[in-house]
Copies of this chain bind each other. A is one copy, B any other.
């Protein structure tokens, strides 16, 4: 009934191992394309039984959510870094490409981005908010510097990116994704130029 309280006390070594194995297996399962992988399948891949999933995660959805949250955590470290090293518009450009490249490398990431960005599922609320805030930071910095058109929210941009990053199935995907991302970026600069 009550799933493991992660904060209360540190997990025993084997329990932690199981938790990690489950997350890895779930990531793997989604990466293989089965965003609707069954719990039995995920448990099997992790080398545990289904019961163990329910010891670590409230429900199947909670497991999925955690997988996606971790992916997003990794990505959302980037903007701060990029803003330290580059001009705001360049930082934005690089972040957009980063998302595309990650999607190109990892189908799991692509599915994650699509799910997070292009849906309203409450399962991904946290991840979505985090991503939107990361983009907001970049957009606002760019707008403040007069390099990027203002008036576009991270959430909105996210939508478009979700559509783009979800494309991975089609032939020649990567190039097209890079191209349309560049178009979006040009559009964002174009507006600023007009305004300025």
Contacts and interface: CB of A to CB of B under 8 A. Distances in A.
A176 B182 CA distance: 20
A68 to B, nearest CB: 17
Contacts of A169: 120
Contacts of A127: none
Contact of A118 (B114, B152, B180, B191): B114
A69 interface: no
The A interface, classified by DSSP as helix, strand, loop or mixed, is helix
A187 B176 contact: no
Nearest to A193: B190
Given A180-B156, A186-B186, A118 B120 contact: no
A179 B156 contact: yes
Interface string A169-182: 11000001101101
A179 B167 CA distance: 23
Interface stretch (A18-26, A73-81, A158-166): A158-166
A100 to B, nearest CB: 12
A180 B166 contact: no
A153 interface: yes
Given A183-B187, A184-B187, A186-B191, A152 B166 contact: no
Contacts of A160: 160, 163-164, 180, 184
Rank and list the top 10 A-B pairs by shortest CB-CB distance, nearest first: A163-B163, A187-B187, A183-B187, A159-B163, A120-B169, A156-B176, A186-B187, A190-B190, A186-B190, A162-B163
Interface of A: 114, 117-120, 149, 151-153, 155-157, 159-164, 166-167, 169-170, 176-177, 179-180, 182-191
